[in-house]
Amino acid sequence: MPKPYAGPIVDAHHHLWDLGLGRHPWLAAAAGDRGGLGDLGPLRQNYLPQDYARDAAKHDVVATVHVEAGWASNDCLGETRWLETLDKAQGVAARYVVHVPLANPEAAMLIEAQAAFDRVVGVRDILSWDPDPARRFATRDGIMDEPAWRAGLALLGRHRLAFDLMVFPRQLAGAARLAAAFPDQQFVLNHCGSPIDRDADGMLLWREGLRALSRHDNVAIKISDLVAYDHDWTLDSLRPVVLHCIDCFGPGRAMFGSDFPVAGLHASFDAVYDGFKAIVADLSADEQTALFFGSAKRIYRLDELSSPGLLPA
């Protein structure tokens, strides 16, 4: 009989914010659409460690990785300093993937300053671009091919920082070329490669692009926020996406993440993680442990974490 996972979890991807700080322009009432997510109204409230702990209460989340949450781009260190003030007793935001604009002339200084924080283990500079302005996250197309941006990326290795790679399927071929050009850089593809076009051609482009990217051993994948691009989801609609990710990358290079509170636009935290557990229940215990715990622990350097147990505050 299949046995759903019941062990410790590292949530590899979520966000926190205090809107009272006025540092999240994309969540301002006057901001437009973003990334095909739909109405952002429900996100326009604070989301702090106690809110995450409430949502995750039914799951054995022992540590989480906070991913930059669209903080004001001219103050990326401000988000890190704010995260440092938050309560870590429950393992929420135990590690950070921070923002650095890698093409910025001050990228070297910013990377060094970010890396000085012990909890910083990765950088994200969103590359997702689409011809439709309502879908875009990035300001322009082709950023990953620009020499100045690549020069910034080349600086991450000396600080042992992973790069969280967020692109749309149309960009996966370029991402594969990027991974080949930087074979010693650890990349982590966000949100399954964002399969936003759900018709047959769109899903074929995603499947083939993901397969090609997975051939590079320096790339891992986060299976996260499947519901962002499948608003009328069912377990049967999510299952082939999850299983294709695992088939491409293997459990040793794949990890689950909630992407809360963003995923909360279309699913509860329980629905997200109960869905993950149901979909992979037929895998071996070791494979499930890798997906829920081990891959994120290794890649995001949660070295102090054991099973079970919490990180020290």
pLDDT digits (tens, 9 = 90+) for 227-282: 888 888 899 989 999 999 999 999 999 999 999 999 999 999 999 999 999 999 99
Can you give the length of the chain in residues? Answer: 313
Q: How far is CA 18 from the centre of its chain?
A: 20
Helix (H, G, I), strand (E, B) or coil at 158: helix
The total number of structural domains that make up the chain = 1
Question: Is the predicted pLDDT of residue 26 greater than 80, yes or no?
Answer: yes
Give domain status of residue 231, yes or no: yes
Give domain status of residue 4, yes or no: no
How many other C-beta atoms are found inside a 10 Å radius of the C-beta of residue 286? Answer: 11
Comparing 83-97, 115-129, 191-205, 296-310, the range with the smallest average pLDDT is 296-310
Question: What is the average pLDDT across 201-216?
Answer: 97
Give domain status of residue 160, yes or no: yes
Give domain status of residue 79, yes or no: yes
pLDDT digits (tens, 9 = 90+) for 111-138: 999 999 999 999 999 999 999 988 889 9
Q: Check: CB of residue 10 under 8 Å from CB of residue 62.
A: yes
Phi, psi of 279 (to 5 degrees): -65, -35
Closest CA relative to residue 90, chosen from 144, 115, 53: 53
CATH of the domain at 35: 3.20.20.140
Query: What's the pLDDT score for residue 228?
Result: 81
Question: What's the domain range around 16?
Answer: 9-299
For residue 309, name the pLDDT band (cuts at 50, 70, 90): very low
Question: Is the predicted pLDDT of residue 151 greater than 50, yes or no?
Answer: yes
Give domain status of residue 97, yes or no: yes
Question: Is the predicted pLDDT of residue 305 greater than 70, yes or no?
Answer: no
Model confidence, pTM:
0.94
Query: What's the pLDDT score for residue 76?
Result: 95
Q: Is 161 exposed, middle or buried (0-12, 13-18, 19+ CB in 10 A)?
A: buried
Give domain status of residue 239, yes or no: yes
Give domain status of residue 1, yes or no: no
C-alpha 147/C-alpha 153 separation (Å) is 10
Q: Check: CB of residue 51 under 8 Å from CB of residue 59.
A: no
For residue 1, name the pLDDT band (cuts at 50, 70, 90): low
Give domain status of residue 228, yes or no: yes
pLDDT > 90 fraction of the chain, expressed in percent and rounded: 84
> Both tokens of residue 160?
């042992």
Provide CB contacts within 8 A for 250, sequence distance 6+: none
Query: What's the pLDDT score for residue 313?
Result: 36
